[in-house]
Amino acid sequence: MGYKSVHTYEKYAIIPIFCIFLFIIVEVFKSGAFQTQPMGTGITEAGDVLSFGSAITGFGIGWAAFAADYNVMQPETRDPWKVFFATWAGILAALLFVQFIGVASAMAVLSTPRFRDAYGTNSIGGLVGEILKPLSGCLQKLSLALLAFSIISNNVPNNYSFALSMQVFGGPFLKTPRWLWTIVGGLVYIALAIPGSTRFETALENLLNMTAYWLSIYTVIITEEHFIFRQGGSGYHLDNWNDRSRLPIGFAALLALCCGIFGAILGMNQAWYTGIIAKHIGKNGGDIGFELAAMYDVTDDHTT
């Protein structure tokens, strides 16, 4: 029931949000504010690009941890590569769509005083409100409210998969109902969101970077496990899934995780900490945390 409810909600939640996004595209285009800006050069510019790339990676790679949870209703006879490319294409199209809207809106801030003033006064919400200003009145407020609530549709899969992930620990975790874990997950991210809301952009950028660090480690471990140690899927023994005596302890994965974390610390460029390597990339530092995390991780995983 929960799985079908997630799909049903996501299917209909996208309709009003997609319409609002289309309106934003039209308004930014009509304003003539979307103009390209010359790229800077030098090591400082390279560092800024690397830091921005880390945040973008965190935005996209988040699906790696739970995308498979939403393919379980696919027939076993379906070609795995078709499932893979369908999933990849769907996620890529959605990510590029919203990222291009974000880029266009950001460029509008640089070239249009009214957009710049709205952004400077009320951050992202002020900018979107100014773009939607032609709607006026209740329709503008409704559109802003729908965009705010669209975050719920983005968190529904996260929370549902959080419950599945907690049950992986087995024992009492497995016996606890998934709906209870979903509530716990919701309370956790609400507790984190409240203090982060006062510095939304900084908190979001830090969160995306941290997501990129850990998921680069996770992706490397899972990819190597699947293609090298499990021979692309033929090496799995599904009947052993709940037999502790036949399951690996996971020392290699744990060591790889620790090495990946070490790499991330060396290369991270956060508001609260800049790594030893990152601080040498331009005057603002350059975030290469997820690249170093993946590199250290893959090296250790092969060694162990």
Classify residue 256 by burial, with Cβ atoms within 10 Å: 0-12, 13-18, 19+. Answer: buried
Q: What is the pLDDT of residue 300?
A: 59
Please give the pLDDT value at position 152: 73
Per-residue confidence (pLDDT) for residue 69, from 0 to 100: 80
What six digits make up the tokens of 2?
A: 């929960």
Look at residue 37 in the predicted model and tell me its pLDDT: 67
For every one of its 304 residues, what pLDDT tens digit does the chain have, with 9 covering 90 and above? 677 787 788 788 888 889 999 999 988 888 776 666 677 778 888 888 888 888 888 778 888 888 888 888 888 888 888 998 998 998 899 889 988 898 888 888 888 888 889 988 888 888 888 889 888 788 888 888 888 888 777 778 888 888 888 888 888 888 899 889 989 988 988 888 888 777 777 787 788 788 888 888 888 888 888 888 887 777 788 788 778 788 788 888 888 889 999 999 999 988 788 899 988 888 888 888 888 888 887 765 555 5
Q: Give the pLDDT of residue 303.
A: 55
What are the pLDDT digits (tens) for 213-238?
888 888 888 888 888 888 777 778 87
